[in-house]
Amino acid sequence: MKRGSTLQIGIGTLFALVSAAIQAQDAADIAGLGKKLAANNCAVCHTFGKDEPNGQGPNLFGIVGRPMAAQPGFKYSAGMKAAAAGKVWDEHLLDAWLSDTQTVAPGNAMTYFEGDEARRRKIIAYLNTLH
């Protein structure tokens, strides 16, 4: 009885470790796909590397967890600054932003949206790795 429950715990732990590893691999794959999407869709205006210069849009290194409109040296639009008070970028806000920037910050200057939910999820998974 005692031996049996020890074995069960052992198998349970192993299963948890394996499924955590599979989940981590899935997350890495999704972020990898997101990196390609970002290169193709965002990189005309944004840089992603640490300390890279701003482009037409602000540098996005560390965007998850950063307050809105807070990248040093970037001249944000009046609309963006007006909407920014108290807002910090998280996955939910990024999803809303990429779906329709104008509902998040009316009058902002980013002329891009991504209507495909699965593509947004991948892009945001990639942004989440930039720390």
- Per CB under 6 A, residues contacting ligand HEC are 38, 41-42, 44-46, 56-58, 60, 63, 68-71, 76-77, 79-80, 89, 94, 97-98, 108-112, 114, 123
The candidate with the shortest Cα–Cα distance to 98, out of 72, 77, 121, is 121
Q: Which tokens hold the place of 97?
A: 């932003």
- Determine the Cα–Cα distance for residues 54 and 100; give it in Å rounded to an integer: 22
Spatial CA neighbour of 50 closest among 30, 33, 72, 32: 72
- Both tokens of residue 2? 């005692």
Residue closer to ligand HEC, measured from CB, 17 or 78: 78
Least separation in angstroms between residue 6's CB and ligand HEC is 49
φ/ψ (deg, to 5) at 6 = -65, -45
CB of 124 to ligand HEC, least distance (A): 8
Please say which residue, 4 or 73, places its beta carbon nearer to ligand HEC.
73
For residues 4 and 86, which CB has a smaller minimum distance to ligand HEC in the complex? 86
Nearest CB to ligand HEC, comparing residues 12 and 71:
71
